[in-house]
Chain A
């Protein structure tokens, strides 16, 4: 059990400060604090020159312009050398025409992987699973996704989560299941009896006092 814990490392949680790091990347040495003031999507993939990972990198590159419009930076990671990353990125561009515009951490020491709980020994003791950490401009973790080695991630969902979090931060609301920009948002529920009684008179679209929506 202790050996598994040691192999797995620390598991960060939503709401905690993102673990600081300084890492070798394809864009030089980068620190987490270099991204302060921007939203950051830190994501891991199991290995360079593998099929699902390649489709994901192409997909992340395709949403990069939309992420930039939203003030979001991308940062990849795998337990591979920087030379491997460079060779792979060049190969992807040569074979598909897609240029990978974001940096990739070469985490050979597994220091960042372990700090972020990216190694899941039940899947692999040496490769990271497919993690996504969405980190806000104050460097707090806002969302965590863990996908298995066999399942490529969905870019629509990642963009949707970014839109939802930014909407929440801007308007002080929550977003319901399957929310898309333009849909009604959830009004924060009342937390006193008095507020609950007043809620139904406030002109929101309410199923009951605790579930009310509004258009932004």
Chain B
């Protein structure tokens, strides 16, 4: 996965997205703007982060999970 390494830890781009979510619920567009990552990378990265249990989706927005919050402390 591009945003989560095989050991379950986020890559640099994954960490950027998780840090962007620290401020609260955000859309992929807002995360792309905050991180400077292309929107397509953010969309695919969020899928991975949700699959890895590090983020959660709420309708069209995303938030940090407890697990994700622990990792970026």
Contacts and interface: CB of A to CB of B under 8 A. Distances in A.
Contacts, number: 30
A27 B45 CA distance: 9
Nearest to A33: B43
Interface stretch (A34-42, A54-62, A146-154, A181-189): A34-42
Nearest to A40: B40
B47 interface: yes
How big is the B interface, by class? 10 to 19
B21 interface: no
Contacts of A30: 40, 44
B31 interface: no
Interface string A47-76: 000000000000000000000000001000
A73 B40 contact: yes
A interface residue count range (under 10 / 10 to 19 / 20 to 34 / 35 or more): 10 to 19
B72 interface: no
Nearest to A101: B38
Interface string A1-42: 000000000000000000000000001111101110110000
A34 B1 contact: no
Interface in A71-110: 73
A38 B39 contact: yes
Contacts of B45: 28
B40 A28 contact: no
22 contacts: A27-B2, A27-B44, A28-B1, A28-B2, A28-B3, A28-B41, A28-B44, A28-B48, A29-B1, A29-B44, A29-B48, A30-B40, A30-B44, A31-B43, A31-B44, A33-B43, A34-B43, A37-B39, A38-B39, A38-B40, A73-B38, A73-B40
Interface of B: 1-3, 38-41, 43-45, 47-48
Interface of A: 27-31, 33-35, 37-38, 73
